[in-house]
Amino acid sequence: MERPEKNPIVTVLKVAVPVVVMFGGFTSAWLASPKFRETVLNLPHRPAEQAAPETEESPETADPATLSAERDRMTYRDINVIRIGLAEYREKNGQYPNLLENLEPAFLKEVPTDPKNGGAPYGYRLTDYGYSLTFTLEGDLMGLTAGEHRLTPDGFDSPVPETAGTEGEETGTGENEPEPETKTATAVPEPEKAADTDGDGLSDEREIAIGTDPNRPDTDGDGLSDGDEVNTYGTNPLLADTDGDGFDDRSELDSGFDPRRPNERLADTDGDGLHDLIELGMGLNANLADTDGDGLADGDEVNTYGTNPLLADTDGDGHPDGTEISSGFNPLGDGLVTAEQAGIWESKKSEYGLHPPTNQTLEL
Please check whether residue 21 lies inside any domain of the structure.
no
**Residue 235 burial (C-beta neighbours within 10 Å; 0-12, 13-18, 19+):** buried
Round to whole Å and give the CA distance between 222 and 249: 6
The total number of residues written for the chain in this structure: 364
Task: Note whether 74 and 151 are same-domain residues.
Answer: yes
Q: For residue 43, how many other CB atoms are within 10 A of its CB?
A: 6
| AA letter at 349 | K
215 band by pLDDT with thresholds 50, 70 and 90:
very high
User: For residue 108, what is the enclosing H or E element?
Assistant: none
Q: What pLDDT was estimated at residue 346? A: 94
Round to whole Å and give the CA distance between 313 and 245: 41
Going by the DSSP 8-state scheme, the letter that residue 7 receives in this structure is P
CA atoms within 13 A on the CB side of 125: 6
Output 34 or 198, whichever has higher pLDDT: 198
Judge whether residue 29 has pLDDT over 70. no
Please check whether residue 122 lies inside any domain of the structure.
yes
As a whole number, mean pLDDT of residues 264-270 equals 86
Q: What pLDDT was estimated at residue 339? A: 93
Highest mean pLDDT among 49-53, 85-89, 108-112, 306-310: 306-310
68 band by pLDDT with thresholds 50, 70 and 90:
confident
Task: Note whether 195 and 232 are same-domain residues.
Answer: yes
CB 131 within 8 A of CB 100: no
Q: How many domains does the chain have?
A: 3
As a whole number, mean pLDDT of residues 287-292 equals 93
Output 5 or 325, whichever has higher pLDDT: 325
Please check whether residue 81 lies inside any domain of the structure.
yes
Task: Note whether 92 and 138 are same-domain residues.
Answer: yes
Q: What pLDDT was estimated at residue 73? A: 80
As a whole number, mean pLDDT of residues 32-37 equals 52
Range of the domain at 283: 276-361
pLDDT tens sequence across 291-311: 999 999 999 999 999 999 999
Output phi, psi for 304, to 5 deg: -110, -55
Q: What pLDDT was estimated at residue 56? A: 41
Task: Note whether 154 and 202 are same-domain residues.
Answer: no
287 band by pLDDT with thresholds 50, 70 and 90:
confident
Q: What pLDDT was estimated at residue 141? A: 76
Task: Note whether 233 and 148 are same-domain residues.
Answer: no
Judge whether residue 121 has pLDDT over 70. yes
**Last residue within a domain, chosen from 206, 221, 255:** 255
Round to whole Å and give the CA distance between 80 and 89: 14
Q: What pLDDT was estimated at residue 115? A: 81
First and final CA of the chain: distance in angstroms? 115
Round to whole Å and give the CA distance between 287 and 31: 94
**Residue 351 burial (C-beta neighbours within 10 Å; 0-12, 13-18, 19+):** exposed
Q: Sheet with 123-127: list strands edge to edge.
A: 123-127, 130-137, 147-152, 155-156
Please check whether residue 38 lies inside any domain of the structure.
no
* Percent of residues, the chain, with pLDDT higher than 70: 73
Task: Note whether 99 and 140 are same-domain residues.
Answer: yes
CB 330 within 8 A of CB 306: no
Highest mean pLDDT among 67-76, 170-179, 325-334: 325-334
Please check whether residue 356 lies inside any domain of the structure.
yes
Please check whether residue 127 lies inside any domain of the structure.
yes
Q: Where are the beta strands (DSSP E) in the chain?
A: 123-127, 130-137, 147-152, 155-156
Please check whether residue 179 lies inside any domain of the structure.
no
Strand 155-156 with 123-127, pairing: unpaired
Output phi, psi for 130, to 5 deg: 135, -95
Please check whether residue 183 lies inside any domain of the structure.
no
Rg for the chain, CA atoms, rounded? 36
User: Which range has the worst mean pLDDT, 123-127, 229-233, 268-272, 337-341?
Assistant: 229-233
Q: What pLDDT was estimated at residue 77? A: 78
- Nearest Cα neighbor of 277 from 235, 312, 239, 240 is 235
As a whole number, mean pLDDT of residues 205-219 equals 91
- Nearest Cα neighbor of 69 from 37, 34, 116, 113 is 116
Q: What pLDDT was estimated at residue 315? A: 93
Judge whether residue 322 has pLDDT over 80. yes
